[in-house]
Amino acid sequence: MSIIVDGLKYLAYILIFPGFLFCFLSGLLLCGIDRKLVARMQKRVGPPILQPFYDFFKLLGKETIVPVTANKTVFLIAPLVGLAAQVVLQLFIPVFSFNAFHGVADVIVILYLLLIPALSVIMGAAASGSPYSGVGLSREMVTILAVELPLVLVLLSVAKVVGNAIGTGLCFSLTDIVNYQLSHGSLITKLSMIPAAIAMLLIIPGETGGHPFDAAEAETEICEGMLAEYSGKPLAAYKLSHAVKLLTMTTLFVALFLGGIGGGIEQALMTSAIGGAFCFLIEIVILFLLCTVLVALCCSFVHAVTARLRIEQLFKYYWTVVTGLAVISLVMAWFGL
Partner 1 sequence: MFDKLITESMGKSPWLFHINAGSCNGCDIELVAVLTPRYDAERLGYKLAGSPRQADIVVVTGPVTKQSLPRVLRAISQVPEPRCIVTMGSCPQSGNVFRGSYSVCGPLSKYVHVDVDVAGCTPKPEAVIEGLATATKILMEKRQKGGQK
Partner 2 sequence: MSMLQHFPICAIMAYFLGAFLIVVFGRNRALRNLIGFLSTATPLCLLTALVKPVLQGSDVIAYWMGSRVPAGGYAIGIALEVDALGLFFGLLIATAVFVAMIYSFSYMSHDDNEPQYYTLFLMLCGGVMGFVLSGDLFNMFIMIEILTFAAVALTAFRNTANGALEAAFKYLVVGCIGSSCILAGTIMLYAQAHTLNFAQLAAFLPGNLNTATVVAYALLFIGFCTKAFIVPFHPLAADAHGAAPAPVSVLISGVLTKSGLYGIIRLTYILFRTMNLGTVQFWLVFLGSVSMFVCVTMALAQHDFKRLLAFHSISQIGYVLTAAGLATALGVSSGLYHAMNHTLFKGLLFLCAGAVLHETGTTDLGKLGGLSKKMPQTTVLFLVGAFSISGIPPFNGFASKWMIYQATYQKAVESGNIGFLFATIVALVTSTLTLASFVKVTQSVFFGQLPKEYENVKEVSFGMRLAMGILALLCILTGLFPGFVTTYLTEPAARAVFGANNYINAMLGTGYAQNFGLVDALPVSFQAAGVWSPISWLCLLMIMLLAVAIVAVSSKYDQVSALAKTAAAAEAAEAKAGPRYGSGALAEGKYELFFGGEESVFSQVGGDDLFWGFKHNWRHYFSFMHELHSGIVNDYALWAVVALALAMLYAMIIL
Where on the chain is the footprint of partner 1 (CB under 8 A)? 35, 39, 42-48, 51, 53-58, 60-65, 132, 218-220, 222-224, 227-232, 235
Return the one option of partner 2, partner 1, none that residue 127 interacts with (CB less than 5 to 8 A, by type).
partner 2
Amino acid at 73: T
Return the number of the residue (57 or 278) whose C-beta is nearest partner 2: 57
Q: Which of residues 6-25 bind partner 2 (CB under 8 A)?
A: 10, 14, 19-20
Return the one option of partner 2, partner 1, none that residue 24 interacts with (CB less than 5 to 8 A, by type).
none
Return the number of the residue (96 or 230) whose C-beta is nearest partner 1: 230
Min dist. Cβ of residue 41 to partner 2 (A): 28
Query: What φ, ψ does residue 49 adopt, rounded to 5°?
Result: -65, -25
Of the residues 113, 279, 298, 299, which one makes contact with partner 2 according to CB under 8 A? 113
| Sign of torsion over alpha carbons 318, 320, 325, 329 | positive
Contact at 8 Å (CB) between 177 and 259? Answer: yes
Of the residues 115, 165, 166, 282, which one makes contact with partner 2 according to CB under 8 A? 115
Site for partner 2 contains 311 (CB under 8 A) = yes
Of the residues 33, 37, 123, 295, which one makes contact with partner 2 according to CB under 8 A? 123
Return the number of the residue (63 or 271) whose C-beta is nearest partner 1: 63
C-alpha neighbours within 13 Å on the C-beta side of residue 333: 30
Min dist. Cβ of residue 136 to partner 2 (A): 9
Min dist. Cβ of residue 170 to partner 2 (A): 5
Contact at 8 Å (CB) between 155 and 111? Answer: yes
Return the one option of partner 2, partner 1, none that residue 39 interacts with (CB less than 5 to 8 A, by type).
partner 1
Contact at 8 Å (CB) between 115 and 276? Answer: no
> CA triplet 281, 283, 289: central angle to 5 degrees?
110
Return the number of the residue (104 or 305) whose C-beta is nearest partner 2: 104
Tell me the per-residue interface mask from 34 to 73 with partner 2, x by CB under 8 A, - otherwise: --------------------------xxxxxxxxxx-x-x
248: closest CA among 111, 89, 108, 131? 89
Return the one option of partner 2, partner 1, none that residue 316 interacts with (CB less than 5 to 8 A, by type).
partner 2
Return the number of the residue (98 or 334) whose C-beta is nearest partner 2: 334
Return the one option of partner 1, partner 2, none that residue 135 interacts with (CB less than 5 to 8 A, by type).
partner 2
Return the one option of partner 1, partner 2, none that residue 240 interacts with (CB less than 5 to 8 A, by type).
none
Of the residues 49, 141, 165, 304, which one makes contact with partner 2 according to CB under 8 A? 141
**CA gap 332, 61 in Å, rounded:** 53
Site for partner 2 contains 336 (CB under 8 A) = no
Q: Which DSSP state fits 106?
A: B
Q: What is the CA radius of gyration of the chain?
A: 20
Return the number of the residue (61 or 167) whose C-beta is nearest partner 1: 61
**CA gap 218, 224 in Å, rounded:** 6
Return the number of the residue (44 or 310) whose C-beta is nearest partner 2: 310
Residue 95's SS3 state is: strand
Peptide bond into 52 cis (omega under 30): no
Contact at 8 Å (CB) between 161 and 80? Answer: no
Return the number of the residue (184 or 308) whose C-beta is nearest partner 1: 308
> CA triplet 225, 231, 236: central angle to 5 degrees?
95
CB-based burial, 108-123: b 16+ in 10 Å, e otherwise = ebbeebbebbbbbbbb
Residue 45's SS3 state is: coil
